[in-house]
Copies of this chain bind each other. A is one copy, B any other.
Amino acid sequence: MDFIHQLGPVALGSRLRRISEQLTAEASLIYADYNLAFQPRWYPVFYLVAQQPGLTANEIAERLGHTHAAVSQVVKELVKSELLAAEPSASDQRRRLLHLTARGQTLLPQLQAQTADVRHGIEDLLATAAPHLWSALEALEQHLHQQPLHQRVAAARQRRVSSGEYIRDYTAADQPIFRQLNVEWITRYFALEPADLKALDQPQDYILAPGGCILLAESAGQVVGACALIKLRDEPGYELAKMAVSPAAQGQGLGYRLGQAAVQRARELGATRLYLESNSVLTPALRLYRKLGFRPVANPPASPYARADVFMELFLT
């Protein structure tokens, strides 16, 4: 379950699918509760015909935003279950006009009562859990319609290719360069400490497994920057750590872009606070952190790093 969170919005489709599957499963339970000889997926077609007898499969499909094939299959089942009946239109022999059978009419009141209950249940759920979800979905669909996702992605690709630089996630093969970039700057100013070695030698165990992530900046096919988000204990937040930019790539705002990406990622992961430890000698880094919005912590906790003498945090709304 944690990987979906790590991927974040990239897995938006999967997430929506999973929730919808969950709701579908719930729907079966609900129908079972009401003891109706009725399948959830019949609902829209049946209800539409109840509202408006004389509709054809094609018209229903259009109203539901499904294909005629889907409706055709459902209608077939509904006719077989003797809930709907069809008769050919007098004016157009191809059209099959649908209406409820006597059995369907008998079922209708129960289905209406159930629908009212479901409506209340979902309204209750949405009101308490996600009051703006419905309108957000509306907006999402509209924007998707206006500019499809693949166009947005193509634009992002364009920007990446023209800038030659992008930020991506760490994978196992990146451990050597992740280590090297950090060792480089740490040993220039300080000595490597045990906590460094743990995180740099086994980032998988010490950073990723506990729910953190590592971002790498790649420029011209080379990894030239890195930073990690390490899960804080007992709070929905992360420590921004192991931030390193290769000397050759410094002074071009890469660190800032990397930092921004980390902040954005933390936001997506549901963080409410970012925390970091640094050293007063590293003035350019401290300036960068300030620029990203970090401020000194009032009562810093004990640090596993001897070199840590500056402690900052950034609250995310």
Contact = CB atoms under 8 A, between A and B. Distances in A.
Interface residues of A, number: 97
Interface stretch (A77-85, A116-124, A185-193, A239-247): A116-124
Given A22-B144, A33-B150, A65-B4, A126 B9 contact: yes
Interface in A151-179: 152-157, 159-160, 166-173
A255 B264 CA distance: 49
A183 interface: no
The quantity of this chain's copies bound in the complex is: 2
B150 A53 contact: no
A40 B17 CA distance: 14
Contact of A139 (B112, B129, B137, B268): B129
A159 to B, nearest CB: 8
A138 interface: yes
B29 A116 contact: no
Contacts of A115: 10, 168-169
Contacts of A7: 44, 47
A312 B310 CA distance: 62
A315 to B, nearest CB: 16
A3 B63 contact: yes
A96 to B, nearest CB: 18
A160 B151 CA distance: 48
Contact of A8 (B9, B15, B134): B134
A100 to B, nearest CB: 8
Contact of A13 (B15, B23, B128, B171): B23
A199 to B, nearest CB: 16
A308 interface: no
A53 B122 contact: no
A135 B23 contact: no
Interface of A: 1-4, 7-20, 22-24, 26-27, 29-30, 33, 44, 47-48, 50-53, 62-65, 105, 108-109, 112-126, 128-130, 132-144, 148-150, 152-157, 159-160, 166-173, 204, 208, 218, 221, 264, 268, 270
